[in-house]
């Protein structure tokens, strides 16, 4: 913790300065936490809030999911070990390259089993996007401006392979809630209206999740 050193000050003054700086640091920490709990925005199981964007008839989160808990408070296991990641048949998540540094910019990477609890992993009132959701979005973006497409923030986030290794961040993939187990959508051109193509990902791959508002 940095602090100011005052020349010709006695030890009591120095401790006061340290104390004030600690209080100031705690103040900014609280402010940062409060900023991440803005009222009225979709909130995940961790308390993270997300901005949204209206695209045609849909309301999407503007960033990838980064929760470590379901919205009922149940924790999603963090799995960093390569062998355990490839062998587990249960819900799990990780950060890209196992570095929490990527949480805010990339979100988390989840395996198939975590994504299949599609209404519990997303904020309440949202769900893991389906094939129909992605197709509707793609049709809308065909006529949308580049600014609109960029606001969706489909940045490259990398993926985790079935064996636990990580693919380069120049590739991205999202889980799709589908009747076909393991369905995913991938992209290599984030600002293109033809950004998506459906495929079958292995269940123990680590992919991103993007949530869309559930229609009543």
Residues 76 and 137 in one domain: yes
Residues 60 and 16 in one domain: no
Alpha-carbon dihedral 126, 34, 148, 132, rounded to 10 degrees: -10
Task: Work out whether strand 93-94 and strand 109-110 pair parallel, antiparallel, or are unpaired.
Answer: antiparallel
* Token pair listed for 144: 């949308």
Lowest mean pLDDT among 11-20, 58-67, 85-94, 169-178: 11-20
Q: What is the pLDDT of residues 43-78, one digit of tens each?
A: 999 999 999 999 999 999 999 999 999 999 999 999
Contact predicate 196/176, CB 8 Å: no
Predicted pLDDT at 25: 37
Residue 78 lies in a domain: yes
Mean pLDDT of 144-153: 72
Q: What is the pLDDT of residues 174-197, one digit of tens each?
A: 888 876 665 666 654 344 444 556
Q: In which band, very low, low, confident or very high, does the pLDDT at 211 lie, cut at 50, 70 and 90?
A: very high
Predicted pLDDT at 178: 74
Residues 146 and 185 in one domain: yes
Q: Give the end-to-end CA distance of the chain in Å, rounded to a whole number.
A: 50
Predicted pLDDT at 199: 73
Residue 45 lies in a domain: no
Residue 42 lies in a domain: no
Which helix (H) or strand (E) segment holds residue 198: the answer is strand 197-200
Residue 205 lies in a domain: yes
Domain region containing 103: 52-213
Q: In which band, very low, low, confident or very high, does the pLDDT at 158 lie, cut at 50, 70 and 90?
A: confident
Looking at the structure of the chain, the number of domains it has is: 2
Question: Rounded to 5 degrees, what are φ and ψ at 98?
Answer: 60, 30
Residues 124 and 205 in one domain: yes
Q: How big is the chain by its Cα radius of gyration, in Å?
A: 21
Mean pLDDT of 115-129: 93
Would the pLDDT of 38 be above 60? no
SS3 19: helix
Residue 46 lies in a domain: no
């Amino acid at each position: 913790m940095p602090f100011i050193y005052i020349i010709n000050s006695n030890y009591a003054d120095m401790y006061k300065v340290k104390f004030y700086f600690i209080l100031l640091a705690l103040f900014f920490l609280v402010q940062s936490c409060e900023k991440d709990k803005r009222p009225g925005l979709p909130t995940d199981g961790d308390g993270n809030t997300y901005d949204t964007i209206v695209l045609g008839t849909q309301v999407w989160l503007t960033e990838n999911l980064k929760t470590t808990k379901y919205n009922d408070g149940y924790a999603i296991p963090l799995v960093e070990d390569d062998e355990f990641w490839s062998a587990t048949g249960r819900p799990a998540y990780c950060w890209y390259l196992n570095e929490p540094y990527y949480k805010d910019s990339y979100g988390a990477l989840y395996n198939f089993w975590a994504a299949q609890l599609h209404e519990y992993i997303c904020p309440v009132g949202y769900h893991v996007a389906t094939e129909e959701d992605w197709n509707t979005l793609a049709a809308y973006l065909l006529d949308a401006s580049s600014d609109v497409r960029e606001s969706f923030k489909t940045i490259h986030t990398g993926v985790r392979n079935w064996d636990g290794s990580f693919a380069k961040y120049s590739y991205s993939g999202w889980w799709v809630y589908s009747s076909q187990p393991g369905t995913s959508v991938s992209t290599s051109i984030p600002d293109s209206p033809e950004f998506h193509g459906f495929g079958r990902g292995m269940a123990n791959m680590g992919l991103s999740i993007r949530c869309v508002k559930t229609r009543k």
